[in-house]
Structure 1
Amino acid sequence: MTGRHGISCSRSRAFPRPVRATVGRAVALLVGASLAVGCGVVPGVTGGDGDDGTITVMTWAPQDTDATNKPGMPALALAYARWINSRGGLNGRELRVLNCNERNDSVTAAKCAERAVDEGAVAVVGSYSQHADSFFPTLESAGIPYIGGYGLTAAEFTSPLSYPVNGGQPSLLAGLGRELADKCGPVSLVRPDSIAGDELAPVLNSGLSAGGHAEVRDVLAAEDATEYAAPSQRALEHASADPARPGCVVPALGDRTSTFMDSFRRRGEDSGVRTATVLGSVDQTVINASGGKSGPYEGAYITGWYPVASDKRWDGMKKVINTHAFGDNRIDPADAGVQTTWIACTVLRAAIESIGDGEVTARSVRRALDNGLSIDTGGLTPELSWDYSETFAAVGLPQLVNAEVTLQVVRGGRLVSARTGFVDVTKTLQRAELR
């Protein structure tokens, strides 16, 4: 592999030990099960990267599968391109967005990356995939930057061509554990019985132990379960073991979290046990569908990467959705994937605008991001800059530049801020690495 500023041709990497033993697979929380293949292009914007000056990028995410789906991410990217082009483009160049359905499938994820190369994409932006080993080798060989992935894989925090805008699942779980340490009695974690799920408990424990709390009860559940009666009973029994201090149950099941809550609410309604989870497993739509203020999420603590969806800092994104998404109901402004794509597009725009009249290529976009460009996201994140950091490199996360999370709580059926500002979980992640 070449250095940070060159093109890397190696396979994507897992976290080095000891990080791999604790944090590594936690970033693959929301694993897919679909074996379907197929990659398509949604022609939201015309043109191709080439002599006409059009700038081509790609976004991919699973859609129409039996596991986690994120159709709002590519839909938001298309709306963003329409907005940019209505304003004259980027430095006078039209922005073209390719959309690929990676179907939660490794073969299709690789085909999406190959399509990005074939179409001359200068970046992959705001995308969701757990199959880093399938798509990163192709992107690295072509030198195409991966901007604003969802934080699911180790390679998103180690590949020199990756530019993550959040701290991924590890930061959410570490932050949640830290918050629950002084708010809960016994804590139960309900997570997938999978390779990815195996490392969720150690990261959550890093936050709990920072607050002097005992470790979680690790409750395994089938990855493709259609009901969770047995896991919810085991979780509840542990969380309610101390009558003097009611505990908390943390479901970390991605799109299956709502299915779990249907089983859990029938058993834990009068137990005093509360729930807590991470954004991406629960959002305002899920809270509304489960009964709002009378539902099982009332009082639940939820960690997120960004401010709550009602925060005025999202007004710019909402305006673009209202005026350029044409009623596309795939786009939910409260969805963490949509929010991540908006920030990733903000990063792309800043990088291209910094190039000015120069040629926009994958190489020039990387160079702009690698040379200390500091990007203001309007307060949605800290300023983003991918300068080398000894702090994060020391814990095996050299591309991590944002280890801050927000704490939210469900009050009156609404997801609201539980604490002003962001919480930095850098030290908590360091403790996880050392365990």
Structure 2
Amino acid sequence: MKMFKNSIALIAVLGLAVTACGDDGGGTSTDEPSATTAEQGDTTAETTDEATAEATDEATDEATAEPIKLMTVTTLNANGPTYENIAITANLAADFINSNGGINGRLIEVEVCDEQFDPAIAAGCARQAVESGAVSVVGSFTYFAEAIVPVIAESDITWFGFCCSITPSELSNPYSFPLGNQPMYAVGEVKRAVEDGCENINAVIVDGGEAVFRPPMENAMKAYGREFGQVVLTPAVSQDFSADVARATNGADCVVTVMSETPYLTWNTAWAQAETDVKLYGIQGNLNAISAKGAEEATDGSIIAGMYPDIMTAPWDDYRAALDAAGIDQEANDFNSLGGMGTWAGYMAFAQIASGIEGEVTAQSFFEAANNTSNLDLGGMVPVLDFTQEWTDGIPGYNRLFNRSVVFSQLENGKVVPLDNEFVDVSDLALGVPQD
């Protein structure tokens, strides 16, 4: 894998270089070596022995070096949504990196911290990251990042490579390095709905998401000289969304929605029961094959705005291979998701940046390296990102939102199918810049 340095290959190259230098001593035309020739031979032998010893020591050091400790935080045991796909992917990504030489010869060691949907336990994860000497907290998702990011930042530990910015610290703290575009994919829904010819658009936002999602969505509508007919705020958990669906579809030909996978399950049931011909727009990893189950016909043709290209596309070849090799049940968890692909991308980004560090990889050296990364290229998992340029002329408080591009897919017979793999920048829409 090109992004990692293979220590064995490096040692082989050093050995060839030493041998070439050793051949330059030269001898005499007599059968018996002269004193000068003998001395040169001794010197060459000593030089070769020293170089071999150094290479052996280097290989031994790398083999016995302390692993680079990383942490991933998510919810695994709770009454609400859980994200086993994140934990599974974090461990698969670590195995993949280690099998390809690690980080400059050092292995990585991952601890998955289950915050159990509890802010106090999330704060405990932060303290554990500090106490264990974690270099970074990578590819995580939690609703309680506000209890984590300020704590780990005091020890130069980055909150790195995550999909979804839903707290102020994730959007503004200098130790926060998101790869995902949240909340821009909601802006993408508006863009696509308008381009699809929708005349009357209503919005549905799950409770708790209004502060982050509503301003840029309404700005996007203003950019087109429009406004939502109404904005429906729904509870995160409900046994029946029939009343909410009725409100959302009233007077609308299209509805843009922001909610997680669990409420989408109940929402789509109510959507099917309503027998509406209103077109549905949703967000990647949430409006998906799992949440559409049982409502395949009603959700057919629904548009999904996302952060990452579909898992079946080329950027995810290694990820799919890792899932297959591990025999992971991909029906039980959605890996074509923000949690799955987001965590894989986060680890690949960490490895790419950390592999370029000269000297020891520490929390501080990684923070400095990430902060100076201007061309993070993950081969199409996300757009090429520049961590040196904050979004200072963007929405106030969203300055760490480096990725502001979306991709689109749709539901066909209950399956997610990519529409294209082109990233579309929606920065201007999020700011309400008038569109031609």
TM-score by length of 2: 0.78
**Per the alignment, do residues 400 and 201 of structure 1 end up closer, same or farther by CA in structure 2, a change over 3 Å counting?**
closer
User: What is the match of residue 303 of structure 2?
Assistant: 301
User: What is the match of residue 253 of structure 1?
Assistant: 259
Task: Verify the 8 A CA contact 1:407 1:417 in the aligned structure 2.
Answer: yes
User: What is the match of residue 384 of structure 1?
Assistant: 385
**Per the alignment, do residues 266 and 176 of structure 1 end up closer, same or farther by CA in structure 2, a change over 3 Å counting?**
same
Aligned partner (choices 269, 274, 280) of residue 279 of structure 2: 274
In 1, Cα distance between the equivalents of 2:394 and 2:233? 32
Task: Verify the 8 A CA contact 1:187 1:248 in the aligned structure 2.
Answer: yes
Task: Verify the 8 A CA contact 1:177 1:206 in the aligned structure 2.
Answer: no
Instruction: Kindly provide the amino acid, as one letter, of the partner of residue 191 in structure 1.
Output: I
- CA RMSD between the two structures: 2.2
**Paired residue secondary structure (2:251):** helix
**Per the alignment, do residues 87 and 327 of structure 1 end up closer, same or farther by CA in structure 2, a change over 3 Å counting?**
farther
Q: Relative contact order (alpha carbons < 8 A, sep ≥ 6): 1 or 2 greater?
A: 1
User: What is the match of residue 146 of structure 1?
Assistant: 159
Deviation by residue 1:193-246 (Cα, 9 ceiling, x = unmatched): x4433553333222223233332411232332111121112222232xxxxxxx
Q: Percent of aligned positions with the same letter in both sequences?
A: 26
Task: Verify the 8 A CA contact 1:351 1:373 in the aligned structure 2.
Answer: no
**Per the alignment, do residues 233 and 126 of structure 1 end up closer, same or farther by CA in structure 2, a change over 3 Å counting?**
same
User: What is the match of residue 350 of structure 2?
Assistant: 348
What is the deviation of 1:163?
0.7
In 2, Cα distance between the equivalents of 1:325 and 1:126? 22
User: What is the match of residue 7 of structure 1?
Assistant: none
Q: Are 1:184 and 2:190 an aligned pair?
A: no
Deviation by residue 1:283-335 (Cα, 9 ceiling, x = unmatched): 23333x2343x2x2211111001112221221111112222466587653312
**Per the alignment, do residues 373 and 390 of structure 1 end up closer, same or farther by CA in structure 2, a change over 3 Å counting?**
closer
Q: Are 1:237 and 2:215 an aligned pair?
A: no
Instruction: Kindly provide the amino acid, as one letter, of the partner of residue 424 in structure 2.
Output: V
The number of equivalent residue pairs is: 367
What is the deviation of 1:400?
1.9
In 2, Cα distance between the equivalents of 1:389 and 1:197? 23
**Per the alignment, do residues 118 and 325 of structure 1 end up closer, same or farther by CA in structure 2, a change over 3 Å counting?**
farther
User: What is the match of residue 101 of structure 1?
Assistant: 114
Task: Verify the 8 A CA contact 2:136 2:363 in the aligned structure 1.
Answer: yes
| Structure 1, gaps ≥5 residues long | 1-50, 240-246
Instruction: Kindly provide the amino acid, as one letter, of the partner of residue 136 in structure 1.
Output: V
User: What is the match of residue 13 of structure 1?
Assistant: none
Q: Are 1:367 and 2:380 an aligned pair?
A: no
Instruction: Kindly provide the amino acid, as one letter, of the partner of residue 221 in structure 1.
Output: T
Aligned partner (choices 132, 144, 162) of residue 176 of structure 2: 162
Pairing of 1:285-364 with structure 2 (within 5 A) = 285-287=290-292, 289-292=293-296, 294=297, 296-324=298-326, 332-356=334-358, 358-364=359-365
In 2, Cα distance between the equivalents of 1:251 and 1:372? 34
In 2, Cα distance between the equivalents of 1:238 and 1:409? 24
Aligned partner (choices 215, 222, 227) of residue 214 of structure 1: 227
Instruction: Give the stretch that moved more between structures: 203-212 or 319-328.
Output: 319-328
Deviation by residue 1:120-146 (Cα, 9 ceiling, x = unmatched): 100000001122321122111111011
In 1, Cα distance between the equivalents of 2:302 and 2:87? 30
In 2, Cα distance between the equivalents of 1:330 and 1:126? 20
In 2, Cα distance between the equivalents of 1:326 and 1:132? 28
**Per the alignment, do residues 325 and 95 of structure 1 end up closer, same or farther by CA in structure 2, a change over 3 Å counting?**
farther
In 1, Cα distance between the equivalents of 2:249 and 2:235? 17
In 2, Cα distance between the equivalents of 1:110 and 1:188? 37
| Structure 2, gaps ≥5 residues long | 1-63
What is the deviation of 1:185?
3.0
**Paired residue secondary structure (1:129):** coil
User: What is the match of residue 23 of structure 2?
Assistant: none
User: What is the match of residue 123 of structure 1?
Assistant: 136
**Paired residue secondary structure (2:73):** strand
User: What is the match of residue 64 of structure 1?
Assistant: 77
What is the deviation of 1:105?
1.7
**Paired residue secondary structure (1:354):** coil
**Per the alignment, do residues 98 and 392 of structure 1 end up closer, same or farther by CA in structure 2, a change over 3 Å counting?**
farther
Q: Are 1:134 and 2:147 an aligned pair?
A: yes
**Per the alignment, do residues 158 and 345 of structure 1 end up closer, same or farther by CA in structure 2, a change over 3 Å counting?**
same
In 2, Cα distance between the equivalents of 1:132 and 1:326? 28
**Paired residue secondary structure (1:249):** strand
In 1, Cα distance between the equivalents of 2:96 and 2:117? 29
**Per the alignment, do residues 349 and 181 of structure 1 end up closer, same or farther by CA in structure 2, a change over 3 Å counting?**
same
Pairing of 1:32-51 with structure 2 (within 5 A) = none
In 2, Cα distance between the equivalents of 1:93 and 1:178? 45
